[in-house]
Amino acid sequence: MSKATANKTMFKPYGIIPAVVTPLTQEGNFSEPAMRKLVNFLIDGGVHGLFITGTTGEFYGLTPEEKREIFSVTLDAANGRVPVYAGTNGITTRESIILTQLAEDCGIDAVSVLTPMFITPNQDQLIEHYKAVAASTSLPVLLYNNPPKTGVNLAAPTVAKLAEVPNIVSIKDSCGDLTLTAEYIRLTQGRDDFNVLMGRDTLIYGALCYGAAGSIASCANVAPRLCADIYDKFMAGDLKGSLEAQFTLAPLRHAFAIGTFPAVIKESLALLGIDVGPCMAPVGPMTQEERSKLRQVLIGMGLLQ
C-alpha cells in the first residue's frame, strides 16, 4: 500500500531550479555558512526552487549523515521562500528508499530519483524500481534521466506509464536529446498532474517551446537571474528576450568542458565572490590557464567586470 495520500496536482515543479553545488571546506566537510550564502544568492536571483544532493551536488560522495545536515541547513536557509528538492539516488532500490525516507523525515518538499548507475536494469525493472520508491513515501517524486552519467535511459513509454503513479509528478531529463524530451511531453500532455523539466542548460528555451514546465539547471548556480529570465520572459510572452537569455547562457554551459565536472561551477562561484570550496577528490582544482579561460567566459557574459 502506497504511503502517498495527497493529490499530486497539489505540487507542480516549475521554473528554474538550480542543481545546487555542495559547498565544502578545504578539509572536505560540508560548509554550512557557504550554503546559507549560496541559498540567499540564488533566491535573490529569482529562482523558483532549490535542488540539492544531485549530480551537481556530488551526491555520490556524501554519507547519509552529511545529506541529513545538507537537507536541514538548506531548508532552514530557504525558510519556505521556495521549495527544496533533494536527490535521493542509489544504485539499489533499497538505498533510494532509505534516502527518500530520510528526506521526508527532514521535511524536504520533493525528491528526485536518478536511474540506477553501474548496473543496467531494463525498462520493466526501472518501472518496478520507481514504483517501489514512490510507494515508500508521501513526497512528490521526480524521475531523473541522465544516460550520459548512468548509461541507463528511461524510454518515453516507461515515463508515460510511471506518470500514472499517484505521487510521481515530473521528470528531469538530462539526456541532451530534445526529441526524447519532446516525446516525454507528447505522451504525458493533457495531464495536470505530471510535467517535464529540462536538465540540459542549453536546451531550456527549446524545451519550453515544446511545453516543458521549466528546468533543473546547473548553470543557475552561477547565473540565477539569467536562467530565470529564460523562463520568466518566455512565460510573459517575450520569446525574443527568452531566446536572447538562452544564447547568453550557452557559453557557460559549453565551458563545463574546461574542467572536470563540477569544477567549473565551483570555480565560477569563487570568481563571483562565493567561495564554495573544492570538489571532492579525485576531482582537483582547475589550472591557472583553465581559470583564466573561465574568467573570460564570465566577463563575456557580463557576470564579471
Which of 264, 199, 33 lies closest to 41 in space, CA to CA?
A: 33
Q: How far from 30 is each of 57, 239, 267, CA to CA, in Å? A: 11, 40, 17
C-alpha cell belonging to residue 96:
533510494
Is 56 annotated as belonging to a binding site? yes
Which of 227, 151, 218, 213 lies closest to 181 in space, CA to CA?
A: 213
HSE-up of residue 289 (Cα within 13 Å, Cβ side) = 1
Q: Which position has the grid cell 551536488?
A: 57
Per DSSP, the residues of 148-200 read: HHHS----HHHHHHHTTSTTEEEEEE-SS-HHHHHHHHHHHTT-TT-EEEE--
Q: Give the distance, in angstroms, between the CA of residue 19 and the centroid of all CA atoms in the same chain.
A: 4
The verdict on whether omega for the bond into residue 282 sits within 30 degrees of 0, i.e. cis, is yes
State how far the Cα of 87 lies from the Cα of 89, in Å rounded to an integer: 6
Q: How far from 65 is each of 69, 70, 86, 256, 271, CA to CA, in Å? A: 6, 9, 14, 29, 30
Q: Which position has the grid cell 570538489?
A: 279
Catalytic residue positions, numbered: 144, 172
Q: Which one-letter DSSP state was computed for residue 59? A: G
Vertex 171 angle, CA 166 and 176, to 5°: 165
271-282 in b/e burial notation, b at 16+ Cβ within 10 A?
Answer: beebbbbbbeee
Please give the annotated binding residues for pyruvate, written as ranges: 56, 216
- Binding residues, by number, are 56, 216
